[in-house]
Structure 1
Amino acid sequence: MMHSCRWSLLSLGVLGMGICTVPAHAAPPDTAPTALVTILEAIETASNEQDIESVMAFYADGFTNNDGFDRTTLQATLPQLWERYESLNYRVELQSWEEIDGNYVAETVTYIDGTQTTPRRINLESVIRSRQQFQGNQITSQEILSERNQLSSETPPQEVVVILPERVAPSESYGFDAIVQEPLGERYLLGAALDEGTTAEDFFTPRPLDLELLSAGGLFKVGDAPKDADNLWVSGLLVREDGLVVITRRLRVE
């Protein structure tokens, strides 16, 4: 049993991520008010310092997230994740903002890089786009819009090209390809793919992964979206004799 790469929770301590265009009614980041910029910088600093009290001060008591995390869940689990990494660095970029009834709505991109050395060296790279609503200097709600995550035992990591749509309709089939760019030569390549929910309950549930010998240089899987609107984590694990890589993408079903 092992966990797939579930790292969107890491972004909650710092806001979400991904590159995007400015929404029709939102303003570009260079026009953002000083108050909003100051809040985002303070959240980034507190997250890099792994100061849970300072981070949580920016989340309202009634905070909600589209993956089912609330303020209590976030406060309990962020320190557990921080403990896994000897180093963990956050960088937040404001993508767009708007003011509604005296409060801010901000779309951000968070970049996370980390290194874990026990039981083996693993490098984390994560990019998450999210939209959060503020009331005063506190976040009242957050929606993760997109995310891409990679865990790798190699430095630099093996180059893998991932093909997955960002969103599909309910009940629609979708393809997930994770293709290793470097020629395998005489080396074997093992792999497994799975999809799972993005709720708080799913975050803590281990999933079995049955590795299979891959005849080609990557994973090529077809999945079926659930019947109702949802978010899925779609993950691929690739293992060679000289290292492994786990890649996760968010798939929106809507």
Structure 2
Amino acid sequence: MLLLLRASLATVLSAAAMMSALPAIAARGANATLSARLQQALNAEDRVQALSALMAPDQAETLIERFRRFSKRFPETRWAVRPGQSLADGRSTVNLAVSGTRQQDGLSYSFKAKQRLAFSTDGGLITGQEVLSDQSVLTSASKPLPISLLIPDTVLTGSRYDVDVVLDQPLGKALLAGGLIAVTPQQVLAQQSPDVQLEPLGGGGLFKSVQAPFQPGPQTWAALLVHPDGVITVSKRVQVVDDRSQLTP
């Protein structure tokens, strides 16, 4: 069970690290054109070669290595890329989503992740990017275990907010255990699996009240829920801001 938990955390952190590097690619034309080209490359038969053809040379090595590591953990995936609304400062945004399933050792693995990114361009190349929101969910179970993530994308510095991972189906007589831990940016990039302390949970999910740091920046959480039918692993990046106008509605 411990190996399964650590492998699950490694998978969601691998996705977070790899997706964070995706915007650093060559981009020409409108935002919608960039989205279409990126989606085509990510779903190509030879994804590594297709992505390499889109990326600036100085950005290719890091992304391709992360992509290979992620693909080994979850080889069957489907990507969707959609243009988003521009920000007040004029930067364009892109919405990325990836999903996949596989069967192994009698368990059904279901993986879903999504990310919203802001980027700027110069001379046809994306020169800067910012992760606005990011979350991943990996379920390894003998039957579906749908959940709802009730976690904000943005919060104010120093504020308290809720991190809730809720099972959509009643527990009945089943017992549930889980835990939550903060993950550093270094752990995300290195795809390191933190040790999560599990404790009995009641009420059909994990419900935690946490505090945002007093400095703006990202705050990433990793959560584990252990159910008799399987394991649910969650990674969520929350953006901490010091201006109410930056809060996501």
Q: What range is the shorter-chain TM-score in? A: 0.7 to 0.9
* Alignment check: 8 A CA contact 2:95 2:114 kept: yes
Separation of aligned partners in 1, 2:140 and 2:232: 7
Q: Does 1:130 align with 2:126?
A: no
Separation of aligned partners in 1, 2:52 and 2:20: 10
Runs of at least 5 residues in structure 1 that lack an aligned partner in the other structure = 17-32, 64-70
Partner of 1:20: none
Task: Please point out which of 148, 152, 167 is paired with 2:154.
Answer: 167
Sequence identity, in percent?
Answer: 22
TM-score, normalised to structure 1, is 0.75
TM-align CA RMSD: 3.0
Deviations 1:141-177 (A, max 9, x none): 2111112221112487323232222222333322212
Q: Does 1:218 align with 2:212?
A: no
Partner of 2:93: 107
Deviations 1:12-51 (A, max 9, x none): 56559xxxxxxxxxxxxxxxx9654433322222222253
Greater mean deviation of Cα atoms: 185-194 or 222-231:
222-231
* Letter of the 2:55 counterpart: Y
Relative to structure 1, the CA distance from residue 56 to residue 76 in structure 2 (aligned partners, 3 Å threshold; closer, same or farther) is: same
* Letter of the 2:34 counterpart: I
Q: Does 1:88 align with 2:77?
A: yes
* Alignment check: 8 A CA contact 1:190 1:212 kept: yes
Separation of aligned partners in 2, 1:140 and 1:183: 47
Partner of 1:9: 17
SS of residue in 2 equivalent to 1:108? strand
Separation of aligned partners in 2, 1:40 and 1:166: 22
Runs of at least 5 residues in structure 2 that lack an aligned partner in the other structure = 242-249
Partner of 1:52: 48
Deviations 1:98-154 (A, max 9, x none): 9x9xxx943111111123445654211112111122334432221111122211124
TM-score, normalised to structure 2, is 0.77
* Alignment check: 8 A CA contact 2:142 2:229 kept: no
Structure richer in helix, relative to its length: 2
Q: Does 1:42 align with 2:37?
A: yes
Q: CA deviation at 1:10?
A: 3.9
* Letter of the 1:220 counterpart: F
* Letter of the 2:40 counterpart: T
* Alignment check: 8 A CA contact 2:108 2:143 kept: no
* Alignment check: 8 A CA contact 2:103 2:109 kept: yes
Relative to structure 1, the CA distance from residue 15 to residue 157 in structure 2 (aligned partners, 3 Å threshold; closer, same or farther) is: farther
Separation of aligned partners in 2, 1:88 and 1:233: 24
